[in-house]
Amino acid sequence: MKKISKKGMNEFIQSLMADYAVFAPVNIDGIFSFRPICNFQQIDRDYQNSKKPPKEVFFPQSETMFEYKNGKVESTEKVTRKRLLLGIRPCDARANLLLDHVFGGQAYKDLYYTNKRDNSIIMGLGCSQPLSSCFCTSFGGGPFSTAGLDVLLIDIGDRYVAQVVTDKARQVLTGKFAEATRQEVELAEKIKSEAEKRIKSRVEMEGIKDKLDEIFDNPFWNRLSEKCIGCGVCTYLCPTCHCFDIADEVVDSEGKRVRNWDSCMFPLFTLQTSGHNPRPTGKERMRQRIMHKFDYFVENYEEPACVGCGRCIMNCPVNVDIRNALQEILKT
Amino acid sequence: MENAYLPIPVKVGSIFAESEDRMLKTLDLLFLNKEDEENFKFMPGQFCEISVWGKGEAPFGIASSPTERGFLRFTINRAGVVTTALQYLKEGDELGIRGPLGNEYPVDSFRGKNVVIIGGGFAFTTLRALIKYLLASRKDFKDITIIYGARNPGMLLYKDELKEWERRRDLKVYITVDEGSEAWQGLVGFVPTIVEKKAPSPEDAFAVICGPPIMIKFTLPKLTSLGFSPERIYTSLEMRMKCGIGMCGRCNIGKLYVCRDGPVFNVAHLQSLPQEY
């Protein structure tokens, strides 16, 4: 275990900027997200978790794939600068591992995503004060889980204890980090176990997939989707949702192809030009969202596409709670 | 690994109106680079994403067979932004394609067997590719039966080729229309009815069926009662698609993505999936 004072951390971050594009929590009108910064003072630490998931560092909400002029194409998948992602929570770090399954597939790789991922270092920040909407422990995660992180920082007051996870991280941590004392490590352990105890919300995942296999045609989906207004916020803010649209934007002879986050909760998502829509109502769309996360994804990659970050619960305008939905599924 | 989102440059070699209403047009595309052409290895049933610069991309089944060299054929129904733009292109206009994408008709398992090909409307495109492929090594297959229907004689695709195939003695060809005209001397009737009447034998046979959902819905029971098992019937599905490589998330049926794991499925497999297509 290493340690660094908070002042030392600021200097460390500043020193990284020569070699890395640093992405850190930034507060824009009360909305926290992970943005590129050029000065450590832009960082705002007054967050429990970001509103927008840090997946956007690798999979931006809107991204130019290539530009073209008179039919000549210029692609943008190359990454010119290494990235350092600072302060993301362990739940979101796990989510990136799930996105890796999708974008780093066997037959095809999404180079826009994988190039950014491969050229990044992630320093996560342990979750000392999880919220009532957090349920990461239901998916094998935890407020101090190191999965998907290169370094885990633990805030112990006026300094951080740093748990180095990967060799890649070892090369980055400079002399500003010292060996942590036994007391400091013990304090970190105490904070950790207290945080874990605070996560009271737990969803029983055992049997969910088998149940979902049986209830595709169950009227349960009508009930579940009844109050959903189809705003799509649950999917936009989900750190594991990966659906996107591709569109062309053009001015005169210069154009670009852009991809944008899209959502299975929108009717246009699957509407065919003929007018046929395989998911015509909210029922089919809600079913798709749940099935994709807890059935289809499990079949394809052997784990559910949910990390229990709670964003969909916190931000749903009509209080759809995915934990209740999962519980009801077991009872159906 | 190459960037799977970058289109290969091609140009329009020719453009031909298939139907009287000029809503269906066939485009033959030519590769701009010899190297791209050599690397483009495909099989009947696969599709491409075609880019019209400034308009966007849409998926289309390849209507030519790999045994026809020098061009890639697509037949396009005018329906949305991209298809409208495609239809008004001129010879020599440049555009982009991505592909070949998706899987193919299982032609190797057809070898030494009878093949029954059933098509409806403008979904006949990849079936044309399949027929041309089978004809290129005709002796590898036993009887080949083609049943193809359109709304009226004017809506039939590839009219000259259909005539040529009808004249061949090594093909059984039944062309039908929902509604005849004065000049029409062929069959009149819906595809399911013609399938029932002509009753192709299921003995040692595979069937491939491609057409509007309503046609497939009523033809499948006819094939079943003739004795075709669902394992021996193949079809090709359509879905709204964007990426074409199983990432953008919209064309799934259960855990499978139609773009990557399809578009060709055997009917037994389809029956085991959630009924959502």
Domain shared by A239 and A259, yes or no: yes
The span from the CA of B38 to the CA of A35, in Å, is 44
Residue range(s) defining the domain that contains residue A318: 208-331
In this predicted structure, the answer to whether residue A171 has a pLDDT above a threshold of 90 is no
Domain shared by A70 and A14, yes or no: yes
ω into B100 cis (within 30 of 0): yes
Contact B239 A296 (CB under 8 A): no
Tell me, yes or no, whether B266 lies in a domain: no
In this predicted structure, the answer to whether residue A172 has a pLDDT above a threshold of 90 is no
CA atoms within 13 A on the CB side of B221: 5
Would you state the structure tokens that stand for residue B166, as one six-digit string? 């009808």
Average pLDDT of B239-256?
Answer: 96
What is the interface pTM, i.e. ipTM, of the complex? 0.92
Domain shared by A75 and A111, yes or no: yes
Tell me, yes or no, whether B142 lies in a domain: yes
Domain shared by A264 and A306, yes or no: yes
pLDDT for the residue numbered B244: 96
Least Cα separation, residue A248 to chain B (angstroms) = 5
Least Cα separation, residue B201 to chain A (angstroms) = 33
Tell me, yes or no, whether A287 lies in a domain: yes
The closest of B204, B198, B8 to B99, measured between CA atoms, is: B8
Which CA distances in Å does A299 have to A114, A209, A293, B227?
23, 9, 10, 33
The closest of B55, B59, B34 to B47, measured between CA atoms, is: B59
What CATH number does residue B111 fall under?
3.40.50.80
Domain shared by B116 and B232, yes or no: yes
Domain boundary among A173, A198, A223: A198
Tell me, yes or no, whether B259 lies in a domain: no
In this predicted structure, the answer to whether residue A107 has a pLDDT above a threshold of 90 is no
Domain shared by B44 and B60, yes or no: yes
CA end-to-end distance (rounded Å), chain A: 47
Least Cα separation, residue B247 to chain A (angstroms) = 6
The closest of A296, A324, A305, A317 to A53, measured between CA atoms, is: A305
Domain boundary among A148, A176, A198: A198
Average pLDDT of A202-226?
Answer: 94
Contact B247 A105 (CB under 8 A): yes
Chain A residues 182-241 with a CB less than 8 Å from chain B:
216
Average pLDDT of B167-192?
Answer: 95
Average pLDDT of B224-244?
Answer: 96
Cα A5 from chain centre: 28
What percent of chain B stands above pLDDT 90? 94
Tell me, yes or no, whether A325 lies in a domain: yes
In this predicted structure, the answer to whether residue A14 has a pLDDT above a threshold of 90 is yes
Residue A252 contacts B, CB cutoff 8 Å = no
| Closest in A108, A273, A292 to B80, CB measured | A273
Task: Kindly list the residues from chain A whose CB atom is less than 8 angstroms away from the CB atom of residue B99.
Answer: none
Task: Kindly list the residues from chain A whose CB atom is less than 8 angstroms away from the CB atom of residue B54.
Answer: 248, 250, 255
Domain shared by A233 and A192, yes or no: no
Would you state the structure tokens that stand for residue A228, as one six-digit string? 């959903």
| Closest in B239, B247, B276 to A242, CB measured | B247
Contact A250 B54 (CB under 8 A): yes
What CATH number does residue B87 fall under?
2.40.30.10
> Token pair 């067997």 is at which residue?
B113
Tell me, yes or no, whether A318 lies in a domain: yes
Domain shared by A97 and A122, yes or no: yes
Tell me, yes or no, whether A203 lies in a domain: no
Confidence of residue A253 (pLDDT cuts 50, 70, 90): confident
Mean pLDDT of the residues in chain B = 95
CA end-to-end distance (rounded Å), chain B: 32
Tell me, yes or no, whether B248 lies in a domain: no
Residue range(s) defining the domain that contains residue B232: 107-236
The span from the CA of A204 to the CA of A302, in Å, is 17
Task: Kindly list the residues from chain A whose CB atom is less than 8 angstroms away from the CB atom of residue B240.
Answer: 269-273
Chain B residues 258-277 with a CB less than 8 Å from chain A:
260, 274-277
Residue B243 contacts A, CB cutoff 8 Å = yes
Average pLDDT of B204-210?
Answer: 97
Domain shared by A176 and A260, yes or no: no
Chain A, nearest residue to B51 by Cα: A248
Average pLDDT of A42-59?
Answer: 95
- DSSP collapsed to 3 states, chain A: CEEEEHHHHHHHHHHHCCCEEEEEEEEECCEEEEEEECCHHHCCCCCCCCCCCHHHHCCCCEEEEEEEECCEEEECCCCCCEEEEEEECHHHHHHHHHHHHHHECCCCECHHHHHHHHCEEEEEECCCCCCCCCCHHHHCCCCCCCCCCCEEEEECCCEEEEEECCHHHHCCCCCCCEECCHHHHHHHHHHHHHHHHHCCCCCCCCCHHHHHHHCCCCCHHHHHHCCCCCCCHHHHCCCCCCCEEEEEEEECCEEEEEEEECCCCCHHHCCCCCCCCCCCCHHHHHHHHHHHHHHHHHHHHCCCCCCCCCHHHHHCCCCCCHHHHHHHHHHC
Would you state the structure tokens that stand for residue A186, as one six-digit string? 């013990």
Residue A100 contacts B, CB cutoff 8 Å = no
Instruction: Report CA dihedral (B149, B152, B155, B161) to the nearest 10 degrees.
Output: 60
Residue A68 contacts B, CB cutoff 8 Å = yes
Least Cα separation, residue A301 to chain B (angstroms) = 10
Domain shared by B222 and B189, yes or no: yes
Considering the entire predicted model, what is its pTM? 0.94
The span from the CA of B273 to the CA of A222, in Å, is 20
Each residue's pLDDT tens digit, B129-168 = 999 999 999 999 999 999 999 999 999 999 999 999 999 9
Domains identified in chain A, total number:
2
**Could you tell me the sign of the dihedral formed by the alpha carbons of B78, B82, B84, B89, in that order?**
negative
Domain shared by B145 and B41, yes or no: no
Tell me, yes or no, whether B249 lies in a domain: no
Domain shared by B115 and B94, yes or no: no
Is the model more confident about B252 or about A105? B252
Each residue's pLDDT tens digit, A68-87 = 987 688 998 888 899 999 99
Tell me, yes or no, whether A261 lies in a domain: yes
Domains identified in chain B, total number:
2
Tell me, yes or no, whether B42 lies in a domain: yes
Tell me, yes or no, whether B257 lies in a domain: no
Contact B247 A300 (CB under 8 A): no
